[in-house]
Chain A
Amino acid sequence: MTRKPITRRDFLKVASAAPLAGALLPRLSAAPAAAADKVRVVLVRDPSPLGTGGAPPAEVVQRMLDDAVKALLGETDVVKAWKSLIRPDDVVGIKTNVWRYIPTTAEVEQAIKRRVMDAGVAESDIGIDDRGVLRHPVFQKATALVNARPMRTHHWSGVGSLIKNYIMFTPQPSAWHGDTCADLAAIWDLPAVKGKTRLNVLVMFTPLFHSVGPHNYAKDYVWEYKGLVVSRDPVAADAIGLRIIEAKRKEHFGDDRPLPMTPHHIALAETRHHLGVADPARIELVKLGWAEGILV
Chain B
Amino acid sequence: MSRPEAPDVRTLASYIPVTAGPWLSEADQVFDAETVFDYIDGAGEVYRSYNMRSLVARRFHKDGRPDIVVDAFDMGSSADAFGVFTHDLDGEDAAIGQGSAYKAGLLSFWKDRYFLSVYAEEETAETKALVLDLGRRIAAAVPGSGPKPGLLALLPADGLEAGRVRFFHTQAVLNYHFFVADTNVLQLDQTTDAVLAGYGGSRLLVAAYGGPEAAARARASFAGAYMPEAGDPAAVRTENGKWTAVRSAAEIVAVVFDALSEREARDRLDAVFALLEKRALRPGR
| Residue ranges of A at the interface with B (Cβ–Cβ < 8 Å) | 4-9, 11-13, 20, 24, 99, 154-157, 160, 173-174, 177, 179-181, 211-216, 218-220, 258, 260-262, 264
Contacts of A173 in B (CB 8 A): 37, 42
B44 located at the interface, meaning its Cβ lies under 8 Å from any Cβ of chain A in the complex? yes
CB distance from A238 to the nearest CB of B (A): 16
Q: Are A155 and B45 in contact (CB under 8 A)?
A: yes
A180 — which chain B residues lie within 8 A by C-beta? 172, 175
Cα distance, A130 to B105, chains bound together (Å): 29
Residues of B within 8 A of A181 (CB): 42
Contact present for A156 and B40 (CB under 8 Å): no
The CA-CA distance from A155 to B178 in the complex, in Å, is 15
Q: Are A215 and B43 in contact (CB under 8 A)?
A: yes
Given contacts A154-B43, A214-B40, A214-B117, contact A220 B104 (CB under 8 A): yes
Which residue of chain B has the shortest Cβ distance to A174 in the bound complex? B37
* A24 to B, closest residue via Cβ: B182
Which of A20, A99, A174 is B179 in contact with, Cβ under 8 Å?
Answer: A20
When C-beta atoms are compared, the residue in chain B nearest to A7 turns out to be: B181
6 closest Cβ pairs, A-B complex: A12-B239, A155-B43, A156-B42, A5-B183, A7-B181, A6-B182
Residues in chain A near residue B238, CB distance under 8 A: 8-9, 12
Q: Pick the most buried of B106, B117, B227: most chain A CB atoms within 10 A of its CB.
A: B106
Nearest CB in chain A to that of B66: its residue: A219
Q: Mark B112-128, 1 if CB is under 8 A from A, else 0.
A: 00000101011100000
A41 to chain B, nearest CB (A): 25
* Complex: A15 Cα to B206 Cα, angstroms: 28
Known: A214-B117, A215-B119, A218-B105. A261 touches B181 (CB 8 A): no
Q: List 29 A-B contacts (CB under 8 A).
A: A4-B225, A5-B181, A5-B225, A6-B183, A8-B178, A8-B179, A8-B180, A8-B181, A8-B238, A154-B43, A155-B42, A157-B42, A173-B37, A179-B172, A211-B43, A212-B88, A212-B104, A213-B88, A213-B108, A214-B71, A215-B69, A215-B119, A219-B105, A219-B123, A260-B176, A260-B177, A261-B172, A262-B179, A262-B182
**Which B residues are in CB contact (< 8 Å) with A154?**
41-43
Contact indicator B40/A215 (Cβ below 8 Å): yes
Those of B175-210 within 8 Å (CB) of chain A: 175-183, 185
B15 CB within 8 Å of chain A: no
The answer to whether the Cβ of B90 comes within 8 Å of any Cβ in the partner chain is yes
Known: A6-B181, A180-B172, A219-B122. A12 touches B240 (CB 8 A): yes
Known: A8-B180, A156-B42; 11 extra A-B contacts, CB below 8 A, are A7-B182, A7-B185, A160-B41, A173-B42, A181-B42, A211-B43, A212-B88, A213-B88, A213-B106, A260-B177, A262-B175
- Does chain A have a CB within 8 A of B250? no
Given known pairs A8-B181, A20-B179, A156-B42, the reply for A214 and B239 (CB within 8 Å) is no
- Chain B's nearest CB lies how many Å from the CB of A215? 6
Most buried by B among A24, A99, A220, A264: A220
Q: Check B47 for interface membership: any CB of A closer than 8 A.
A: yes
- Give the chain B neighbours of A218 by CB distance below 8 A: 104-106
State whether A156 touches B45 (Cβ < 8 A).
Answer: yes
Task: Point out the residues of chain A lying under 8 angstroms from B47, CB to CB.
Answer: 214
Interface check B249, CB cutoff 8 A: no
Q: Tell me the nearest residue of chain B to A14, going by C-beta.
A: B239
What are the interface flags for B32-49 relative to A under an 8 Å C-beta threshold, 1 for contact and 0 otherwise? 001001001111111100
Asked whether B226 is an interface residue with its Cβ less than 8 Å from the other chain, the reply is: yes
Determine the chain A residues whose CB is within 8 A of the CB of B104 once the complex forms: 212, 218-220
Against A, the Cβ 8 Å flags (1 = close, 0 = not) of B157-186 are 000000000000000100111111111010
B170: min CB distance to chain A, Å: 10
| Chain A residues whose C-beta falls within 8 Å of the C-beta of B44 in the assembled complex | 174
Distance of A176 from chain B, by nearest CB (Å): 9
What's the Cα separation between A218 and B105 when bound, in Å? 8
